[in-house]
Amino acid sequence: MHIKLPLKPNDLDTQESSFNFIKKFFSVDENIIKPEQEFFTAPFEKERVDDFYSQNKETFFNSAVRSRIVYYILCRAKYAVKDHVDKFGINKLLDSGIYKAAYPLHDCRFNQKSEEKGYVNERYLLYREWAHPRSFYKLQPLDLVRKYYGEKVGIYFAWLGFYTKMLTLAAVVGLGCFFFGLFTRDSSTWRIEVCDPNIGGNIIMCPQCDKLCNYWRLNITCESSKKLCIFDNFGTLVFAVFMAIWVTLFLEFWKRRQAELEYEWDTIEFLEQEEPVRAEYEAKCTMVVKNRITQTEEHVPYTTCGKCVRLTLCSTAVLFWILLIIASVVAIIVYRLSVFFAFSSSLPRNVKEFEPIKDYLTPQMATSVTASIISVIIIIILNMLYVKVAIMITDFELPRTQSEYENSLTLKMFLFQFVNYYSSCFYIAFFKGKVVGYPGDPVYWLGKYRNEECDPGGCLLELTTQLTVIMGGKAIWNNIQEVLFPWVKNLIGRCCTASGSEKVIPRWEQDYGLQPTGKLCLFYEYLEMVIQFGFITLFVASFPLAPLLALINNLFEIRVDAWKLTTQFRRMVAEKAQDIGAWQPILQGVAILAVVTNAMIIAFTSDMIPRLVYYWSFSVPPYGNHNSHTMEGYIESSLAVFNISDFKLESEPNNLPSWFEQMNITTCRYRDFRNPPGHIHQYEHSIYYWHVLTAKLAFIIVVEHVVYLVKFLLSYFIPDVSAEVREQVKREKYLTQKCLHEAHLKMIQGTRKVKGTSSCLRNKTE
């Protein structure tokens, strides 16, 4: 099993961190949980037991290692021979229903110490110093978590804690960006123009749908423009660049932290090929092939051709279900169009000439909120469905080992969840309002529904609303699943099987009443956090408060997961893990994609680039001062003019508002950069449009190259393994080789002594 055990105490000097005095305030009391002593380790061999460092025979193997050893033996214990084939393994007995469950026991009740004297109750300590709500501010006792649950659980909580710690910096900067937008919104010139009854109140906007929609005044969007100013400002640009660098720092520093844990927890030389074969795979090994490496016969479940057929069928199934998710997104879009028409047709028609409609919900906002809520509900339903689908597809694929199984399932589930959670956000950010034509020649969706247009301030506010609702709804639902469901199930189980005091019920029976952890317990935890990571990186340019919400959620998540494992679930079999597995390249892929999405959000979803182009190229300096620019007149320049006489019969509104009929209005405005009526190329894109488009493309190219260069330099200059860990690894290898050499010399010397003694005895006999 290649279990590495203490050989000699670590004799290298460790560098004290300058932040240790702060760390002491958040660390667990050393009198309660004693810190683990650092050792150099080597793979255990029974013949060399005297070479290993041992103070107590009973604690030579900790509880997690004992659990692994027992499970290893049970997985290989033969129980029958059928048709000259050995049948073995506890997993096969569980799958066939011969045994109902098999699990390692907790060492005591979680909220009460064991009465056995001199015994350290690790479960009780974990509950008190890790899972209890009053310990939310304390650092996690990772060594004790690893000692009790194994390296695989320990590495998850180490990653989650490190991710949460790094989120603190992102949350502080995001909160600063939010307050910058909040304090500067009242001084925004374009927002003042929208709300001004003499400017925005005099701008008559064209209907945004056929027949049912009417003309409306620009100043009815005053409130949404104020909210938009909070998120659509220059601080957002700075924050998006910062987050791209933050992601790189997070991934690079995590690699260093992971390397430290690999050394401390003895998983550096953990090899996946040493992992045992899955029972499901072994049960279907009916074909005999020749291994090209060992030149021996071995049993496999299928040939190379059969494997290709399985992979093809699995890939086709994954593609089909992804297309099904996209179909649900299309259904949401159709809903959005229908609801938008309904809200637009219900706007009041008797508003006075210069009165802004502040008390009415705009059609865009009403549609956005209701569609976001429905999206969350559909996402949750599809999520529950696709978990089962992904498991079925992976089971059919039949991976050889548990690591291969989890990696394959990870890729499928992430693809499903990526499309499920992010598709609506991608639609709002990059498709909505981009191809709508103009009032005289609108573009239709599915040949029936007129494409949605963005609010005059852009679709950024709607994207922010979508992110807020989805992130909030997802967090609430996950906490209900993780806290309420297990607690209710255990409560019902205790009520149904109550037969006396817990003190007289055996430990194994108390644990049987808890919830089973399952093989994919940690998989769902990782998936939840990686989806959250995507929200705070892919779309952070539209919602600077996303890292703060993620930080608050994760502070609860750590304690909720700890409470759940410690109190509501059976103790899982300790497993070894070197790193976070397939999630590492997924995080790196999301980090690379985030640079592109945020640059495109700023360029195409927000109005930042058009405002900059107007400020530097088209604005007229006041009072002849050619050294200064102003944003005055931007709203007027950003809205194109349309002659209402050019409406097609099927698009012309059929129920005009009262104020419109009393005024002699011949033109209306719409959001685009097009030539006015009467121009030689009327209704075609103006020179301003091409200036803005060029600036947007230039911005994306420059920002991407600069950020990717910075990311590359950071990755290059931050080594994955610290110098201190390298020294410790070299020192450990040296000691191991020295110990083996000395043991070999002792064996040779002992052999010579035995031979010498034998010759003497022979001479005496003669």
Nearest-angstrom CA–CA distance, 343 and 364: 9
Nearest-angstrom CA–CA distance, 526 and 594: 19
Average pLDDT over residues 172-184: 90
Residue 131 shares a structural domain with residue 195: no
List residues bridging with 441 in a β-sheet: 438
Nearest-angstrom CA–CA distance, 436 and 438: 6
Give how many domains the chain has, as a whole number: 2
667 occurs within a structural domain: no
Residue 456 burial by Cβ neighbours in a 10 Å radius (0-12, 13-18, 19+): buried
More confident residue, 552 or 63: 552
Nearest-angstrom CA–CA distance, 352 and 202: 12
682 occurs within a structural domain: no
Residue 199 shares a structural domain with residue 268: yes
726 occurs within a structural domain: no
Nearest-angstrom CA–CA distance, 206 and 197: 18
Q: Which of 88, 112, 140 is the last residue of a domain?
A: 140
Residue 357 shares a structural domain with residue 505: yes
Residue 330 shares a structural domain with residue 366: yes
More confident residue, 113 or 523: 523
Claim: this prediction has a pTM higher than 0.75: yes
> CA nearest 232: which of 273, 178, 163, 282?
178
Nearest-angstrom CA–CA distance, 193 and 197: 8
Q: 3-class DSSP state for residue 9?
A: strand
Residue 505 shares a structural domain with residue 412: yes
Per-residue pLDDT reduced to its tens digit, 702-711: 988 998 998 8
Cβ(661)–Cβ(654) under 8 Å? no
The dihedral formed by the CA atoms of 36, 40, 41 and 47, expressed in degrees to the nearest 10: -120
Q: What is the residue-averaged pLDDT of the chain?
A: 79
Residue 358 shares a structural domain with residue 397: yes
97 occurs within a structural domain: yes
More confident residue, 496 or 143: 143
Residue 93 shares a structural domain with residue 221: no
Nearest-angstrom CA–CA distance, 113 and 119: 9
Nearest-angstrom CA–CA distance, 189 and 185: 9
Span of 68-77, 148-157, 271-280, 381-390 with lowest mean pLDDT:
271-280
660 occurs within a structural domain: no
759 occurs within a structural domain: no
752 occurs within a structural domain: no
Average pLDDT over residues 660-687: 85
Per-residue pLDDT reduced to its tens digit, 202-242: 888 888 777 777 788 888 888 888 888 888 888 888 888 89
Residue 383 shares a structural domain with residue 497: yes
Cβ(541)–Cβ(244) under 8 Å? no
Q: Which of 140, 159, 184 is the last residue of a domain?
A: 140
Q: In sequence order, which residues have a C-beta less than 8 Å from that of residue 736 and are 6 or more positions away? A: 7, 40, 42
501 backbone φψ class: left, alpha, beta (φ>0; ψ -120 to 50):
beta
Cα-based distances in Å from 288 to 87, 178, 297, 298: 17, 65, 6, 6
What value, to the nearest 5°, has the Cα angle with vertex 460 and ends 459 and 461?
Answer: 95
Say yes or no to pLDDT of 349 above 50: no
Residue 170 shares a structural domain with residue 76: no
Q: 3-class DSSP state for residue 667?
A: strand
Query: Which among 79-83, 152-156, 423-427 has the top mean pLDDT?
Result: 152-156
Q: Which of 140, 173, 207 is the last residue of a domain?
A: 140
Question: In residues, how long is the chain?
Answer: 766
Domain that holds residue 70: 4-140
Residue 53 shares a structural domain with residue 70: yes
Nearest-angstrom CA–CA distance, 261 and 208: 58
Residue 120 shares a structural domain with residue 221: no
Residue 31 shares a structural domain with residue 93: yes
Residue 42 burial by Cβ neighbours in a 10 Å radius (0-12, 13-18, 19+): buried
